[in-house]
Chain A
Amino acid sequence: MSDETTVKRQAIAASTSPAIELKGISKAFGPVQANKDISIRVMPGTIHGIIGENGAGKSTLMSILYGFYKADKGEVWINGSKTEIPDSQAAIAAGIGMVFQHFKLVENFTVLENIILGAEDGRLLKPSLAKARRTLVELANDYGLNVDPDALIQDIGVGMQQRVEILKALYRQADILILDEPTGVLTPAEADQLFRILDRLKSEGKTIILITHKLREIMETTDTVSVMRRGEMTATVKTAETSPAELAELMVGRKVLLRVDKKPATLGEVVLDIKGLKVVDDKGVERLRGIDLQVRAGEVLGIAGVAGNGQSELLEVLGGYADGTGEVRLNGAPLDLTGRLSDGQSRRNRGIAHVPEDRQREGLIMEYQAWENTAFGYHHDSEYRAGLLMNNAAIREDTAEKMERFDVRPPNPKLAAKNFSGGNQQKIVLAREIERNPDLLLIGQPTRGVDIGAIEFIHQQIVALRDQGKAILLVSVELEEILALSDRIAVMFDGQVMGERQPDQTDEKELGLLMAGITDTGAATAAKGT
């Protein structure tokens, strides 16, 4: 095989035409110019990164390449010949395979059925399945991509599901593989495994385009990288010749502080004391299986974990919109976990502020204007009221001040929430919650879908609140964020706390193992492996 690989490599070195060349691609959605005159060359057998903030136009560009959108202007050249890609079928025929951020798999089909879907040989399934089974064995050998062909998608972990997506592309004989934010749902260990697979694919001559907003992934895996900002390609550089700081600056358009500056924490009294907290969901599944946690005044407790291991339920029950059992005390007094006094309003009266994980569904009403959203949950406050009615003028004025302080752009209280960018939406929620001087702030995924510039600001606000002596419970799936902000880290897996660590005495590797349910003893503790 090594001889074959050498031959392949030489062949690639000899061919001069790029695997993909885009020439002057432009695409507008109404007045919004999603892609502006984008040109890019990706050489075969390389990993090319595309980095940019949300809304920079990365996904639009890739959708054009995969035939979802038609470019207004510009040309696509594949392996040196001009290619029209009107639909996905044409993209597949041109040797392009796409691994979407949200997998396109049929949950109750087997791995094998998902792989042949749309690429069957003939009208009957039996021969197609048999052929796919044989091919799968070959692919597993060639690339180290082992999966159980007869497992149902709903029974395998996200890492495996992603592997199925890659296999789907390879089964269709893709030579160019596009991966859109592939590590968003993976544990660090799974992500490392993915990058090893990508390296293997590269060494077998495949061309890979990696779309991400994570600088670290770009630095570790790619050969070249293109930076996109506001629909334009601002630079294409060799990864070896750049640095994270330079890329961040290219993405945002100004210098960005990548670290969070903070003083050591000054710990106060225990503000939140959780003992044996359990939550059972409406299907009868135990989502929290006895949580014990404490958060003190003046500290940030970071909850790390892969999405879906009970963090959301923890926030929901503490925020007052899910029922639980167990004992939770706030400043020494018990908190109702069910019943009439277990709702958002009661929680706010007790001094708990909540920035929910999904700001678009739980934090804001997207159709409502900024000032209306600012009043939610606090609309009974005396300064917002004029007798029985709401004092709209006062709310608008207050909102304008808040928007000023939190650098919300544009600072217009009458703009609907949906018209702000992700980062500015988050600032509106944050301003509403922390300007009320809460004792405890619950904050979930504070920077999900937020651009680097706004991340910096939001992180500073969280640290400032901590320094005022408030208790903060931070839930995030971004390990870097947890490590940067937390004074103490608790790792959740399968509804339990796997352990607590000090951020300066641990690393991503150790946390990653805990996130996968593997404790110090080295044994996986629960059946739900990934």
Chain B
Amino acid sequence: MDYLTLIQLLDSTLRLATPLLLACLAGLFSERAGIFDIGLEGKMLAAAFFSAAVASLTGNVWVGLLAGIGASLALSALHGVASITFRGNQLISGVAINFLAAGMTVLIAQSWFKQGGRTPSLMGGARFEGITLPGAEALADVPFIGPLYAELISGHSILVYMALAAVPLTWWLLYRTRFGLRLRAVGENPASVDTAGVSVVGLRYAAVAICGVLCGIAGAYLSTALQAGFVKDMSAGRGFIALAALIFAKWRPWYALWATLLFGLFGALETRPDVIESVIGMKVQSQFLGALPYIMTVVILAGFVGKAIPPRAGGEPYVKER
């Protein structure tokens, strides 16, 4: 495997890791506040559709992004009302959101665009294009650093950089601010927050809302940056892989980055069977490569996580006791 292939592989890793990273951080906020969210998948899917649809109708991808975030936020609000206000079962609410999103997107897509449940292909301003960072072209011919900068670091859409920036931002918010302290506390022992005179409900809604925004961006990325338009079930289990990455990352932002990059790498390998062939010296079935991210999810969860302690109050509605 030559250097350029490696750079291309990593470049593709980064692009595929971005939606996982955003969804993983979304789950991190929610679960750190004690609200389990298996509806990441559904929120991403809804956001993917609405951002593509609105971008297609308006021709402006930024309006599309806002629509995607809005759709995801609406589902988040549903999850919040069910699991925070009415203290329902968080898993059931999440499953319901996944089903709702899977059915609703195709239905509306068919009714609006009549293209078999997809949106028209997005072009021009209706899509996030790669950004060429300053100096990328000038450096492109410099050995070693040139390809690294021009191919790997430069040339991604703005959402990739936003996702990467979200990692230190999340870390800072969680560990350096009052909001983060309270958020972590409410996921560990909501009674401690309640007796301290802070609203458990308010904090959990805030966390769920942040989760909605990040899922919205993740979904928009799928349909307006990674691909050019919405197709049925395009989130393809990424919400669940993000949840696996979240456990693998032990609910920490920097670990989330590494975990999602790892899953991104599995995804990238799928598209480059030649790389695998040259490394292990034999041909691998393409079906197997396609299943690789999912297989690795199971393997990692089963064996490599070690002791991952979830937030102690996770999944339990808070009921004030005497």
Contacts and interface: CB of A to CB of B under 8 A. Distances in A.
B322 A117 contact: no
25 contacts: A63-B322, A68-B322, A88-B195, A88-B197, A91-B197, A104-B191, A104-B195, A104-B196, A105-B192, A107-B312, A109-B185, A109-B188, A116-B181, A117-B193, A118-B182, A118-B196, A120-B178, A120-B181, A122-B178, A123-B179, A124-B176, A125-B176, A125-B177, A125-B180, A126-B176
B189 interface: yes
B320 interface: yes
Interface of B: 175-182, 184-185, 188-189, 191-198, 312, 320, 322
A428 to B, nearest CB: 24
Which 7 pairs show the lowest CB-CB distances between chains A and B?
Answer: A118-B196, A89-B197, A104-B192, A88-B197, A120-B178, A104-B195, A118-B198
A292 interface: no
A372 interface: no
Nearest to B307: A283
Interface residues of A, number: 33
Among B182, B196, B312, residue most surrounded by chain A Cβ atoms (within 10 Å): B196
Contacts of A68: 320, 322
Nearest to A128: B178
Interface of chain B, main secondary structure: helix
Given A68-B322, A88-B195, A104 B189 contact: yes
A126 B194 CA distance: 23
Contacts of B196: 88, 92, 104, 117-119, 168
A108 interface: yes
A106 B177 contact: no
A123 B177 CA distance: 6
Contact of B322 (A60, A88, A89, A128): A60
A468 to B, nearest CB: 41
Contact of A118 (B180, B197, B320, B322): B197
Interface in A128-178: 128, 168
A102 to B, nearest CB: 8
A327 interface: no
Interface of A: 59-60, 63, 66, 68-69, 87-89, 91-92, 98, 100, 104-109, 113-114, 116-120, 122-126, 128, 168
A114 B184 CA distance: 11
Contact of B192 (A69, A106, A125): A106
Contacts of B178: 120, 122-125, 128
Contact of B188 (A69, A108, A124): A108
A92 B197 contact: yes
Given A107-B312, A123-B177, A123-B178, A114 B192 contact: yes
Contact of A117 (B175, B176, B177, B185): B185
Contacts of B194: 88, 104
Contacts of A128: 178
B157 to A, nearest CB: 32
A109 B196 CA distance: 15
Contacts of B322: 59-60, 63, 68-69
Contacts of A106: 184-185, 188-189, 192
A260 B188 CA distance: 44
A118 B193 contact: yes
Nearest to B198: A118
Nearest to B175: A125
Contacts of A89: 197-198
Contacts of B312: 107
